[in-house]
Structure 1
Amino acid sequence: MEIGNRIRFYRIQKNMTQEELAKGIISTSYLSKIENNQTQPSGEVLSYLSKRLDIQLIEQEEITLMEDLFKWYEDIIHYRKNEVESQYELLKDRINFSNDTTALIFFTLFELRYFFFAGKHEYLDRSLEKINLYSDILEDKMIYFFYKFKGMYHYVNRQYIKALDHLKYAEEHISNQMAFESWEKADLFYMIGLCLNQMRKPALSIQYTNSALLIFRSVYNLRRCGEAQVLLGLNFQRVNEFKKAYENYQLALVIAKQLDETDLLGIIYHNIGYYHFNQLEYEKALTNFNLALQYKKIEREESMLVTMYWIMQTFYFQDNKDQVALWLEKGEELLKRYPRKDFEYRFKVFRFLMEEILDEVFEKFLEKEVIPYFKDQNYEDEVILFSKFLAVHFENQNKYKAACHYYRMVINAVNEQNNRTNAYDRIIQLHANKIKAKSQKVITKV
């Protein structure tokens, strides 16, 4: 039984009002939130309530375990890497020897968030399956985390419509039903901002990201401020506000250098490189991509694959085939240590280009393997890129029927992106209608 339910049960048994129980300890409204499981009381508050009710509400071990679990989760959100890693195994052992089902469920939920934090995406499916087993017994606060983390799961799997749907349910939950720390709201807003960016809704993404940034500043979380500045930069690039994009990247860079956050520095330099690439400033792009590699090698070597891919593209646009070949070898070598199907296909395409083998084998490879794979994985940008490549390839060979087919595929992929954006609009309207309906019910009652 939730601690709030226990308190309410014993208060009624003692024939006490909320005012009588709360007097001199906490406010009546705060007690009401505790009894409705909208907030978690501190150990000190529980101790005073226990004495007044003349019962043992909860074992001290349970109190300590729950406090430590929520402290661990707070460390995850604030990106305190050392604390997060050191506490994970300790908490896992304590949960294994605990009979507290509430603590077990919260640990399972927070462990899923930990896997996102640590980049251990290979554990996400199994972790989500475990949480789904508890889905019918989740209480209010658990339901919020369930929606939020499931949204993050769909985001990682590039299922942005599903991701946004779950994140919006979490937002509705956090806005209307419960008391949460401001940094928790900021983390949710940041995730919604990420999703909106992928769905090509930069204006709304900027709105949510700015909301997250303001909160991260208010709690002095510089690391998360840096992440928000990077996301703002990406959004401003989408709307061709290149000066604002660059300014945000530079602000993020100052923060990352100050904190010596190597993984964040790798992300920032990569995005600055991408910024210069889009400005056709290839030498500046290469300088920043190489800086990104230096930091990525320290923190997460496998993340170097994407930067190597863009270095190859940059040299390809400079018509520097020797350098493309050199970086292709480096990428293929790294791919052996960190296999990824998407980069395997990308590098194979470059291998064909470097060897100038644009024959039927190459055509079939793109037609039968590459494009279907990226289409299945919702990588519309790659579907557009490789479909356009085939269309031009067939057009140059006077194979106009085949060229027309792939030009149509380009159009369909673009339409798919637009449909995804329209689907977002429908989600927003759905939630707006729900909130409006709730407001009308409240007004009717009043």
Structure 2
Amino acid sequence: MSRPDPARMAAYEVLRAVRVEDAYANLVLPRLLREHGLTGRDAAFATELASGTLRRRGTYDAILDACTDRPLATTAAKVVDALRLGAHQLLAMRVPPHAAISTTVDLVRDRAGKGASGFANAVLRRVGGRDLDAWLDELAPSGSDADLAVRHSHPAWVVAALREALDGADDELAALLAADNAAPAVTLVARPGRISRDALLDQVGVGGGGTPTALSKRGVTMTGGDPGAVPAVAAGDAGVQDEGSQLVALALARAPLTGSDARWLDLTAGPGGKAALLAGLGAQRGALLTAVEKQPHRADLVRRALRGAEGVAEVLTADGTDPGLEAGSFDRVLVDAPCSGLGALRRRPEARWRRTAADVDDLVPLQRALLDSALRLVRPGGVVLYATCSPLLAETRDVVAPVAARDDVTLEPCPMPVDAPGPLPGTTQLWPHRHGTDAMFAALLRRT
């Protein structure tokens, strides 16, 4: 009896950790690669197998359902995890069919027993009977939300919400859904006062495929290699940060301001990427950043990100809706609000299967409370930048519009280096299929 090979076992354990522990694949995968001694091509294979399976889970579940005589929901979860891995190898990877099937059967036998392995063998032979396009033509032939959900592996409610956010632009919806399933390059940020972008490019080198980002003047993309092996990243002089997130912090720093510009605030700072960028930008002007984070473990991540940085006043473990800070005492405030995260599905594909429409309803009151808190804490004439890594109108337009209508607040054009109009005049909505970034929303509000 053959034992599962280490690369496939590592991918299987990623899926199990996501399912059982609510883990994020990008966080648990490096540890599992080390535990199984995987490097080079084997590590790349395990990474694509795990990440690709999570991205296309909805599609594979529809195909697997069509290949079984009983609902997939009644099959043991450990077997379903293995079947999804097998489907990805058969339909989306250059793995010979016999190898994809036999190795998956070995995995099922090891995890669930001999009886389940026979079932897996029969199902996967049916899956491999046609290619992915043929399956999609049969199971998702139209452009309805339900068929797009199967074709592009998104929950149907997410498809409907993204259609609304695109203002009914049906010709773009498929492109957006496809972009969510494309693995992004790793993006680094050169933190001001610590390293220049040119120096970071030199460190990434040809082997890492380093290139300057198109929109952020602080960003570098890597197409290969381990970002943790870049000396500047290891030292905290640079960090891993999507270009859209960099643009949000840069926009807050660029906003015009008269009078005092000495006290900056990141009201929801965990895990610390934007705070580190803001601290560097503020230090160049003599400003000090206060960072607030409610969750203690995330506050520790913020402290780690800010370690050795200039321009830091303090890091507080406190609730951003009522952090105990003096009203009207800050000049610039960032609210990177907790949100559904549906703008970052390229990087965290499993998030689409965790979130529900009810989760969004639960998050909106918190987003509104944080924005209200920020406007209390900023001085008259100061600015607040409200951002979400979500394009959903409930988390963007519907949070900002009531606040922008207040007598003591004005909504102003968000200073971005790209034309990316959002759902309200002056706001910004970045998109993966248009701009190559996560779907970041940003609105700049001034307290009058």
Higher relative contact order (CA 8 A, sep 6+): 2
Higher relative helix content? 1
Q: Rg bigger for which structure?
A: 1
TM-score (norm: length of structure 2) = 0.23
Higher relative strand content? 2
TM-score (norm: length of structure 1) = 0.23
